[in-house]
A = this chain, B = another copy of it.
Amino acid sequence: MSASREDTAARRPGRGAEPYTLASLVEVAATAFLERGYDATSMEDLSRAAGITKSSFYHHVSGKEALLRGALDRALDGLFGVLAEPAALEGPPVDRLRHIVRRQVEVLATELPYVTLLLRLRGNTETERWALARRREFDQAVASLVREATEAGATHPQVDPGVAARLLSGTVNSLIEWYRPGRVPVPDLVDAVERQVFDGLLGASG
């Protein structure tokens, strides 16, 4: 762990701005976790990124795990919010799937650090296992839709729907590995992922 740790710009709340809130510190933490990984990021790193000492940092937050939990909550809220949208609940399976994929890309893009944290969990603590369980719920909802779509004859039947669903989720989630805000306009990204997922590289339609 010899990498420079000064590259995250320190930022204190400006004159007259809000004091440190859990949400603002979760944001700082998630950004740092995104760069170096959760385990490799120390509380010292985080406090410096927030522009205060480690002790002061502890005055605002109970510990590292609380930051993790706050970030995971935000990620899961975003994802489950998509499942609750009307267009995800009504209509032919393929249309609902299309809507979910498109909105999921938007959530990944806008909540990038939080979702990244969720997708990199290994289940080492109780908090992590809880979040992983919720994530599995989300994946299973998507998998059910893929199965329905296959039963309705909308997808090619040669591939096991369970495997197809995992590859679909994998394609969408892989965004966290390279997408960074501003690089590609989100609407373009949404279209690209939809196309790749439903039509593949060779895509007949369009």
A contacts, CB < 8 Å to B? 1-3, 35-37, 39-40, 94, 97, 120, 122-126, 146, 149, 154-156, 158-160, 163-164, 166-171, 173-175, 177-178, 184, 188-189, 191-193, 195-206
Contact = CB atoms under 8 A, between A and B. Distances in A.
Contact of A202 (B2, B39, B123, B199): B199
A148 to B, nearest CB: 13
Contacts of A174: 166-167, 169-171, 173-174
Contacts of A164: 192, 196, 201
A158 B201 CA distance: 11
A73 to B, nearest CB: 20
Contacts of A191: 158-159
A126 B35 CA distance: 15
Contacts of A155: 201-203
Contact of A197 (B120, B200, B204): B200
B37 A124 contact: yes
B177 A163 contact: no
Contacts of A154: 202
A40 B122 CA distance: 9
Contacts of A196: 159, 164, 167-168, 171, 200
Contacts of A120: 120
14 contacts: A1-B124, A36-B122, A37-B124, A155-B202, A156-B202, A158-B206, A159-B192, A160-B184, A170-B170, A170-B173, A174-B174, A198-B202, A199-B203, A202-B205
A154 B159 CA distance: 23
A163 B171 CA distance: 12
A174 to B, nearest CB: 2
A60 to B, nearest CB: 23
